[in-house]
Every structure is written in C-alpha cells, then in structure tokens.
Chains A and B, each alone.
Chain A
Amino acid sequence: MKPCAPRRALVIVVATLLALLRSAGADPPTLVKLTIKDHHFVPNQVTVPAGQRFRIELSNQDDTTDEFESYDMKFEKIVVPGGTIAVFAGPLHPGTYKFFDDYHPDQATGTVVATAEN
C-alpha cells in the first residue's frame, strides 16, 4: 500500500474537524450548581427550562474521586476530591432525567426536571 494513505486520512479528519469548528454562538447557558458531600448530591433535584442548553457545575466535597455521569443527558466526567467540574447538558424535552456518581451509584443519585415554559 502507499505509505501516505493513513497520513492523508489523518489530514482529512483534521480538516473536517477544523471546518466544523465554528462558534455555536448563543447566550451563556443557565448554570446549575451542585455539590456532592457524603456521597449525596446537594440539591439532588433541580429544575431547568426544557429546550435549552444548560451547564451543571459540580463541586466534590468528599475525600474520594467521583465520576459524574448521566446516561440520560450523555455526560461523564471525573471530579477529584475538592475539585469542581462543569458539564453541558440539554436541550431536553420536558421530563425527568437521572444523573449519578458512577463510583457510588447506590448512594449518589439525582434528577434534573425539564419543564416546558408557559
């Protein structure tokens, strides 16, 4: 085979990515702040408007590393003890969406409720 083929494929991949890189420009999204302490989320239920992108910020006040994760909202992020991370989520249809700490899934769970605006 021609040895340049993989390199050309890489160039195509990078070029495509760069072409896709354009600002998704919008208003700064709603920020929801959570903490995790004693392996429980505080608060463990938050309400957000449906149909909008938003951010969830999580501060880990435990002395163990956690993995902030949601199958429903498609995020997965490590948060070290004392650390703070943020993830994007939404836009969501009206409904209830679960999140959890994948390292303590029995204790640390919570929900996001997306409500339609009137």
Chain B
Amino acid sequence: MLASLLIVFREVLEAGLIVGIVLAATEGIAHRGRWTAAGVVAGVLGASLLAFFAGALSNALSGNGQEVFNATILLIAVVMLSWHILWMASHGRELAREMKDVGRAVRIGERSLFAMSVVVAIAVLREGSEVVLFLYGIAASTQAGPGPLLLGGALGILAGAATSWLLYRGLLVIPIARLFSVTNVLVALLAAGMAGQAAAILAGIDLIPAWGYQLWDTSWLLSDGSIVGRALHALLGYSDRPMGVQVAAYVATLVVLIAANRWMHRQPIRRPAPHHREA
C-alpha cells in the first residue's frame, strides 16, 4: 500500500504544485474556482482518454508519439502561462487595487482564467494519465487483493491534493499588494521550466540538437529522483544533469518574459476616462 501511495503521490504532487500556483495567481478573480475545476475535470477526462490510447500514441510518429505529444502540450502550457503574465502586467495593479477596495472577487480577468484553466488541464493530463495507467494496472492485475494498493493510490491522490492546497494557502500569506508580483515570478519560472522540459524531450529523441548532454551534474547534491528534486523539477524546471538546449530554452523563455513584462509596465495604465466637466 505504501509503495502505491508513494508512486501516485509523486505524480499528483507534480500536477498539484502547478495547480497551487495557478490558484494563488488567480486569487480574487471572479469564477476562478469554476475555471480551475473545469481544468481539473478536463485534465482527468483527457488523462483517461490518453491512458486508453497509450499504445496507439506510443506507435505514432515512428515511435516518437509520446515525446512529441508531451513536448507539444508543454509548449502550449508555456504560451498560456506567458499570456497570463503579460495580462497581469497590464491588469495586475488594477486587480489588486480593486480587491483591496471592495474586498471580494472582482469581475475582470475572465479571459486570463481561460489560459490558466488550460494550464491546469495540461498539468492534470500529463501526470493523471500516468496515475490512471498505474491504477488500472493494479485493478486489472490477477493478483489477489488489489484493495490495499488501490487504497494507497487513493491516499496518494489525497496527499498530493493536500500539498497543492497547502502551497496555495501558504502563498496567500503574502499581502494582496505583493501577491501578484510573487506569483508572476513563480509563473515565469514554471513557464521556463516547462520550456526547458519540452526542449529536453525533443532533444531526447534527436529531433533537435542537445547542445551538450550534461552541462553539469548536481545529482550528488539534489537528485531528480528525490521527492524534493521532483518538486523543484515541477516548480522551477530543476534538472540534476541538464542538456544545453534545455538550459538555453529555460533562459530564453525567462528573458523574453522579463523583457515583455518590462515593456508592458512601461505602457501607461489605461483607466476609464474621468468624468470631467468643462467649467
């Protein structure tokens, strides 16, 4: 039971950390609960479908189907996260101000919610399909008594979801005026990490050059295999032995996002025109 709990927990944790950040980053936007839930549901449905077609996907594209699919959805998530950051750069201050004034959910930003809903769906889809395949394997196995294993799996899902909730609640300790600056940094690192992962996957099947297969080795310090290593992998894109192209994609994404963010901040804040009377 403990083994299956750990296996499921690790997968759910990776998706859960992303969901936790999305929850904090969309704090105070009306209907975000609905959008997040929709993302989770879409992700679970997609994961089940993906699990069902796992064999077909493996054989697709001369055996590279899984890799190309994973890299593609990661890149879609990168675009969506970037969209959120740029949207926040132009509306974040307004949002924080309104939330302070009215002290309740504000009705702007539903467009940004769509992007984040897609990110949640992708995170759940990626890790969820592995959970579905694993649990299905247990349920279908002829060994007697899959009960404890399935119970372990269920507990693993709960533990992963709880970690996600803790991250979200932890981030809410940050005062609302600062919250979006912090979540924007986290979202940017998330996007960079995913871009790096996508590049590593594509270089892993020799579709793009690797620019060096092991730029450094910090596995003695923090292994990708440890729980902390996996959490940092999901959150920041940490890799103990990264490829050159992975680091390049990571840095390029961060640089583009920082530059775009600066540029957006330099634009004057658009406000509704004040009602002024000609005297």
The residues of A with any CB-CB pair to B shorter than 8 Å are 1, 5-6, 9-10, 12-13, 16-17, 20-22, 24, 53, 63-65, 67, 71-72, 74-75, 77-80, 83, 85-88, 90-91, 93, 102-103, 105-106
Given contacts A78-B66, A83-B58, contact A10 B79 (CB under 8 A): yes
| CA distance in complex: A63, B240 (Å) | 33
Nearest CB in chain A: distance from B210 CB, A: 8
Structural contact, A20 and B200, CB atoms closer than 8 A:
no
Question: In the complex, which residues of chain A have a beta carbon less than 8 angstroms from the beta carbon of B214?
Answer: 93
| CA distance in complex: A16, B140 (Å) | 44
Question: In the complex, which residues of chain B have a beta carbon less than 8 angstroms from the beta carbon of A78?
Answer: 54, 58, 66, 130, 133
Nearest CB in chain B: distance from A72 CB, A: 8
Main secondary structure of the interface of B (DSSP, over half): helix
Given contacts A67-B130, A71-B225, 4 further A-B contacts (CB under 8 A): A5-B86, A63-B142, A71-B240, A86-B63
Tell me if B78 is interfacial: C-beta within 8 Å of chain A.
Answer: yes
Nearest CB in chain A: distance from B168 CB, A: 25
Nearest CB in chain A: distance from B171 CB, A: 24
Question: In the complex, which residues of chain B have a beta carbon less than 8 angstroms from the beta carbon of A16?
Answer: 252
Tell me if B177 is interfacial: C-beta within 8 Å of chain A.
Answer: no
Tell me if B35 is interfacial: C-beta within 8 Å of chain A.
Answer: no
Question: In the complex, which residues of chain A have a beta carbon less than 8 angstroms from the beta carbon of B79?
Answer: 6, 9-10, 13
User: Which 4 A-B residue pairs are closest in the complex by CB-CB distance?
Assistant: A64-B137, A80-B55, A71-B225, A20-B208
Which residues B166-222 have CB closer than 8 A to chain A?
195, 200, 202, 204-210, 213-214, 219
Structural contact, B66 and A9, CB atoms closer than 8 A:
no
Given contacts A9-B82, A13-B75, A85-B58, contact A1 B206 (CB under 8 A): no
CB-based nearest A residue for B132: A65
| CA distance in complex: A93, B216 (Å) | 12
Structural contact, B205 and A88, CB atoms closer than 8 A:
yes
Given contacts A78-B66, A102-B7, contact A22 B213 (CB under 8 A): no
CB-based nearest B residue for A69: B225
Nearest CB in chain B: distance from A94 CB, A: 13
Which residues B117-147 have CB closer than 8 A to chain A?
130, 133-134, 136-137, 140-142
